[in-house]
Amino acid sequence: MRWMRDLDEMEKFLEAIRHRSRKPGRLSQALMALGLVGIAAAVVANASDARAAASQDWSPFVLVSGLLLIGLVANDDGLFDSAGGQLARLSTNGFVLFLGASLMIATTTALLNLDTSVAFLTPILIYTARRRGGGEAPLLYGCLLLSNAGSLFLPGSNLTNLIVLGHFHLSGAAFFADMWMPALAALVVTGFVIALFEHRTLGLSALAPAPVPRPTWGLGFVAVLLATVLVLVLSAPALPVAAVGLVAVIVRLVKRRENIRHVLEVLGLPVLVGLFGVAVTLGALGRLWSGPSVMLGHLDTWATAGVSSVVSVLVNNLPAASLLAARVPAHPFALLIGLNLGPNFFVTGSLAWVLWWRAARGAGARPSLARASRIGVVAAPLSMAAALLVLSAKGLA
């Protein structure tokens, strides 16, 4: 099939990115340059629209930077590795292991963002599967698809949430109260589809797991707790969460338990700056051009989710959110369902795909974009339908 051959070419391209990323970041610098040029063009076209787009988009990027730093410290303390080891030790079979991994992925995604989840949990879950001597495929593909599916729980779970919610003043607790049931429905359906595709692997007998590494219950754990409280309580948690992450990393640097090069590598400032520039550019375009807003205003919740999922695959969900939510959307929750679950269709849907692929290859796995897409093509529409049905039942459609 043609699309599968295209995926093979995409895998070769991502492999080139992985090797080049070890060099001085030419692709990252190119993205940053593109973003800065885009901002300059937006300012020239209409300075007030560019300023409004930047005002809507800056806080998501600051928040995700803080969450990535907190995830780095938590990972250094062995919290993720220990959780994976405990999961392997307590799981009596592959299905229990998959269920436990799904809960771990959902929790990490909800509290620390889906990019943090795929970057740190992918290698941990691969090693967890190997500790038990069983197949790694369910956990490998589950980490990607469940991270996307689990990014509807809290505003900070996905940058798209924060961009769309820029027009509203919802605290994390209020957002969770509205969206936890649709998010749970999407997560359960996605997990069921993955288990169906990988049921033979899940049924394999397991060897005795390796000893569980002991975590350090210190700075990383405290930072995660603080970030959770801040995201739930505050309607604008970006700066406080970023401050927690910055302080935690500075403490590690002072104690020489971390080095600045690794911190900058995890943070990926050129990529964040570049994506911010693209978001501001498309946000300004959406304010200058009323087409997307008018189109969404004539759609119901189901059509809104469908259109936003298609746009997320065509241009990536972050630029799609900036464009489609440049003006107040008529159905913000349905828009988020499409933006967050639609990326499971295809590799172009979200940055999480690239981060997942790189993390998996770095752990010695051989991820298949074609396999992930085959599962996603089934999981995405079913999980979207489940989330929309629950949303309608709650009277939020």
CA dihedral 323, 329, 330, 336 (to 10 degrees): 80
Domain annotation covers residue 31: no
Domain annotation covers residue 268: no
Domain annotation covers residue 257: no
Alpha helices in the chain (DSSP H): 2-20, 26-45, 47-76, 79-90, 94-112, 114-132, 137-149, 159-164, 172-197, 199-202, 219-233, 238-254, 260-267, 269-288, 291-297, 301-315, 317-324, 332-341, 351-362, 369-393
Specify the pTM: 0.84
Question: Domain residues for 353?
Answer: 81-218+282-393
Q: What is the structure's pLDDT at 25?
A: 62
Domain annotation covers residue 346: yes
Among 23-37, 224-238, 255-269, 370-384, the least confident range = 23-37
The answer to whether the CB of 101 falls within 8 A of the CB of 125 is yes
Domain annotation covers residue 293: yes
Q: Count how many domains the chain has.
A: 1
Tokens of 63: 């928040």
Q: What is the structure's pLDDT at 107?
A: 94
* Bigger pLDDT: 237 vs 4: 237
pLDDT tens digits, 103-152: 999 999 999 899 889 988 998 898 888 777 667 899 999 999 999 999 99
Domain annotation covers residue 19: no
* Bigger pLDDT: 234 vs 372: 372
The answer to whether the CB of 351 falls within 8 A of the CB of 275 is yes
Distance of alpha carbon 168 from the chain centroid: 21
Domain annotation covers residue 38: no
Mean pLDDT of the chain: 86
Tokens of 173: 């607790």
Choose from 52-61, 75-84, 96-105 the range with maximum mean pLDDT.
Answer: 96-105
In degrees and rounded to multiples of 5, residue 113 shows phi and psi of 85, 150
Domain annotation covers residue 355: yes
pLDDT tens digits, 241-285: 999 999 999 999 999 888 998 898 888 888 888 888 988 999 999
pLDDT at residue 353 tops 60: yes
pLDDT at residue 13 tops 50: no
